[in-house]
Amino acid sequence: MSLTGVKILYLVSEDWYFCSHRLPIARAARDAGAEVVVATRVRDHSAPIEAEGFRLVPVELSRSGRNPLHDARTLAALIRLYRRERPDIVHHVALKPALYGSIAAWLTGIPGSVNAFAGMGFVFISSGLFARALRPLIRATFRFLLNRPASRVIVQNPDDRALFENTIGVAPHRITVIRGSGVDISRYQPRPEPSGVPVAVCVSRMLWDKGIGELVAAARVLKAQGTALRIRLVGPGDHNPAAIPSAVLAEWAAEGVVEVAGPSDDIPREYANAHIAVLPSYREGLPKSLLEAAAAGLPMVATDVPGCREVCCDGETGILVTVRTIAPLAKALARLAEDAALRKSYGAAARRMAETEFAEEIVVKKTLALYRDCVGLPDSTNCN
């Protein structure tokens, strides 16, 4: 699937996110002949990006959305960048890059714009005044930008497809469902369960809307009723408005009801040392943490919300619970903690699903086909 002579520019908020979620796709585009440029906030992951032969352009794209002056400067910088680079395709990842990147692509006449949404973010989840005030403006802006002839939209689940079609008003033929960012099934492998007290691990950014507060409350319930289960929180803080303050995380660690491990560079090992994966999120696109847990053969407990229920199939690969609840979450964790046979059954089914539906090569193939379609190259695969 050749992309010879095509220049692709990826716009991503954070360098680590590009490495964890888009590196395999960019690598495949490079191997197909494309020139790859990565524009992102550069912190600790410049080396692996540049080692792939990609050109790295620092862009300070704030994720808080509460500083209009900073955002105006960012938009101006993107316009200058797009005029200078003249890519054939810009691939925007997440809501803010898609918003500002699409404006810049429109103003500079970029031939192809791919906008990937991994869930709908703080603005569409929060019930706060700020988020509710922004939603109509963002819907109207996206309705215009995403219906332009050069635009394509990637969503990760049918719920988000319906949202873009029915609420935002994007034409159905512009939307492609690609289920997640893929998982390396050779890197994540099922392992024998470790001995000792069962461990439930939550791999996530430390955000309130990931359900971390409810998980801690459920851990208190489990401790009070004497359930033998360790609950481990693995993941970084964030600049998101929903970020959990570091002082709160420190209080939870001191309380001893959960283990606050912080970020990890070895997620396969985290899953190898666990018995259960848990993610009580309020909404997702298709959570990479659950894809990796499935590939590692772990049973799951997750909330019955878009994205999570694509991977955690109730009674097959795990247990679904009502979002923002504590008692059902505690009950589901206790059930898996106490039933090794059920864990084994759910974990085996999860691994099979990862192999057949979510493997990295499936996602890569569909994305490269979309690139070809975006710039009018023939023989692309229909992946709508």
Query: What is the token pair recorded at 107?
Result: 């103003």
H helix intervals, the chain? 15-21, 23-31, 46-51, 68-85, 95-108, 121-125, 129-145, 158-162, 212-224, 246-255, 267-272, 288-295, 308-311, 327-337, 340-357, 360-374
- pLDDT of 160 strictly over 70: yes
Q: Determine the longest span between alpha carbons in the chain, in angstroms.
A: 63
- Strand 112-116 relative to strand 35-41, pairing: unpaired
pLDDT, residue 381, reads 47
Residues 15 and 21 sit within 8 Å (Cβ to Cβ): no
Which percentage of the chain shows pLDDT scores above 90? Answer: 84
Residues 281 and 207 sit within 8 Å (Cβ to Cβ): no
Residues 311 and 285 sit within 8 Å (Cβ to Cβ): no
- pLDDT of 66 strictly over 70: no
Q: How many CB atoms lie within 10 A of CB 167?
A: 14
Closest CA to 330 of 274, 261, 258, 267: 258
Task: Give, in order, the Cα–Cα distances in Å from 249 to each of 49, 181, 255, 265, 371.
Answer: 31, 29, 10, 20, 42
pLDDT, residue 122, reads 60
Residues 278 and 308 sit within 8 Å (Cβ to Cβ): no
**Band (342; pLDDT cuts 50, 70, 90):** very high
pLDDT, residue 120, reads 65
Rounded to whole angstroms, how far apart are CA atoms 172 and 267?
Answer: 36
Residue with tokens 């988020």: 131
Summarize the confidence of residues 209-233 as an average pLDDT: 98
Q: Three-class SS of residue 33?
A: coil
Summarize the confidence of residues 298-309 as an average pLDDT: 97
Residues 15 and 49 sit within 8 Å (Cβ to Cβ): yes
Summarize the confidence of residues 216-245 as an average pLDDT: 94
Residue with tokens 């409810």: 214
Residue with tokens 């955002």: 71
Rounded to whole angstroms, how far apart are CA atoms 222 and 214?
Answer: 12
Closest CA to 121 of 138, 144, 145: 138
Identify which has the larger pLDDT, 381 or 21: 21
pLDDT, residue 63, reads 55
pLDDT, residue 171, reads 98
Which one-letter DSSP state was computed for residue 219? H
Rounded to whole angstroms, how far apart are CA atoms 35 and 4?
Answer: 8
pLDDT, residue 75, reads 95
- pLDDT of 176 strictly over 80: yes
Summarize the confidence of residues 220-235 as an average pLDDT: 98
pLDDT, residue 380, reads 46
Closest CA to 280 of 202, 200, 180: 202
Residues 61 and 84 sit within 8 Å (Cβ to Cβ): no
pLDDT, residue 70, reads 82
Residue with tokens 């600049």: 239
- pLDDT of 383 strictly over 60: no
Summarize the confidence of residues 289-305 as an average pLDDT: 98
pLDDT, residue 125, reads 62
Of 47-61, 260-274, 364-378, minimum mean pLDDT range: 364-378
Query: What is the token pair recorded at 48?
Result: 């692996």
Summarize the confidence of residues 83-99 as an average pLDDT: 96
pLDDT, residue 376, reads 87
Average pLDDT of the chain, as a whole number: 93
Task: Give, in order, the Cα–Cα distances in Å from 82 to each of 50, 90, 101, 109.
Answer: 20, 9, 9, 9
Rounded to whole angstroms, how far apart are CA atoms 300 and 353?
Answer: 13
Domains and their CATH numbers in the chain: 7-182+359-374 (3.40.50.2000), 199-357 (3.40.50.2000)
pLDDT, residue 384, reads 46
pLDDT, residue 121, reads 58
Query: What is the token pair recorded at 197?
Result: 């007290």
Instruction: Supply the DSSP string of 260-315, one letter for each residue.
Output: EEE--S-HHHHHHT-SEEEE--S--SS-HHHHHHHHTT--EEEESSTTHHHHS-BT
Rounded to whole angstroms, how far apart are CA atoms 200 and 202?
Answer: 7
- Strand 199-203 relative to strand 276-279, pairing: parallel
